[in-house]
Structure 1
Amino acid sequence: MQQELDSKTMQHHKLVLPEHMNHQGSLFGGYLLMWIDEVAYMTANLHFPGHRFVTIALDNVEFKHRIECGEIICFLALLEKQGNTSLTYRISVTGTREQSDKLLFETRVSFVSVDDKGKKVLLKI
């Protein structure tokens, strides 16, 4: 589920299921990183339709709090920087149930717009 908040921000949600748990009983971090990349990619494609984006960077990876099974997590994607061929989104992750007041994770994801041969192309607005 996604919701557009304004022209630079989009919100997405994900339910944490038992198959996403690690051996400690909390969310396996690899799933969260995959979802963050996916959320940022979907947001970039919705903001800039018709472009092909590849992820070129993911900033600091620091898990701030455990995420439990059954939590519905909210991803807030904010377009922070737009270059000629690249985009950077700040992705903030919060809970909606048990941890609704806590920032669970935050990072930046950068993309470059490429053609079918992998060469950079200018962003069209």
Structure 2
Amino acid sequence: MKNEGESSQVVLVVEDELMIATTLEMILSEKGYQVAGPVSTVEDALALLETARPDVALLDYRLGGSTTEPLLSVLQERGIPVCMLTGYGRDALPERYQQYSVLEKPFSLNELLEEVQRLCG
């Protein structure tokens, strides 16, 4: 995703609710971020990671009947900061994922942008 000489940061978006995914993509793009995705499944996210090198990942923890846990371990191995997007709150996450930053749905656009900026350093 990132080409030589480009300074914009890449944000991986994994979200299965189309309206939320589209809104995230639009807002992040407007603020100068490159968006990898959005994708709605772990499989699509893993395929995207074969070519994309995101600076940060925004993950909806629950995707339909599954979770993004298999993706979390890959992102962790690559040192990519993660922000969990969830309507269930931090307490609904497994203990081993409590360290990740969490935005509870519904979150404000300012909260989202502040968190992405913080994670991008």
Superposed pair shares fold, TM > 0.5:
no
User: Which structure would you say has the larger RCO, counting Cα contacts within 8 Å and 6 or more residues apart?
Assistant: 1
More strand by percentage: 1
Rg (Cα) greater in structure: 1
More helix by percentage: 2
